[in-house]
A and B are shown apart, each in its own frame.
Chain A
Amino acid sequence: MQPNNDGLHTTRRRFLGEAAGLAGGLALLIAVKPASATPETMRAALKRVVGEATLHKGKVKLDLPPLVENGNVVPLTVTVDSPMTATDHVKAIHVFNEKNPQPNVIGIHLGPRAGRASVATRIRLADTQTVTAVAELSDGTFWTDNIQVIVTLAACVENM
């Protein structure tokens, strides 16, 4: 009886071990599975816009509520300090995020006829993260601002 019992014991132990391993593997799979932008993919997206140019801090003001109750509708305002003349204006404004499924949020193209380099829209945020805005000026320089946002109800990947 003893060997048989022992045999049962080892299989049970092995079974538990395997079950634990499987659960761990599944948890890892679930953690990895949702396509998610990471700070690295955000940097890659940034690089596609900025190229080799250096990013300066300032001029851009990114306005988002610091605490977001509903990530599905987050008011966002980007204002760039620029005279908006033919020789000195904002060409483009890009907004990036770290943790949504895609790193890009929006790309806006402006010209001197805008008069004021300010844009407001409503975005989605999937998680507590840092949102970055980059402005491209007519002289080829890039200016940036970022803001940390806390999101309590996530958007984008929720199920129906």
Chain B
Amino acid sequence: MARALINVPAKAKRGEIIEIKTLIQHEMETGYRVGTNGNMIPRDIITDFVCKYNGEEIFRADLFPAIAANPFFTFYTVATESGSISFEWIGDNGFTAAETATITVE
């Protein structure tokens, strides 16, 4: 299981725009590099990232090999209600990772 770091404010005022930061451990092997044995290293990247706020999708990204290793994202959302914010990463070779954060909206 890849390690993931997420940063979501624990508390927010209703209607406030909050910043979300995510970082996940992943090689993001491009598939264009040659290994020590002279063969191409096969592609192994994260292809999709989805963030859902209480089940509703608020942010989605299609990743390409041009994303640096350990994909990092900063994005914003409006704090509408208390609940959970879930994060999901899907990649090559059956890679999946998921994290959840809770937020209290006053």
A interface residues with partner B (beta carbon < 8 Å): 34-35, 72-74, 77, 97, 100-102, 104-111, 113-116, 118-125, 155-160
B95 at interface (Cβ–Cβ under 8 A)? no
Known: A72-B68, A107-B61, A109-B59. A118 touches B76 (CB 8 A): yes
Question: How many A-B residue contacts, CB cutoff 8 Å?
Answer: 111
A102: chain B residues within 8 A (beta carbon): 64-66
Q: Is the CB of B53 within 8 A of A106?
A: no
Contact B68 A109 (CB under 8 A): no
Q: B-side binding surface: helix, strand, loop or mixed?
A: strand
B78 and A156 contacting across the interface, CB-CB below 8 Å: no
| Min CB–CB distance B74 → chain A (angstroms) | 4
Closest to B61 in A: A108
**The residue from B18, B62, B65 contacting A156, defined by CB atoms under 8 A apart:** B65
- Min Cβ gap A80→B in Å is 12
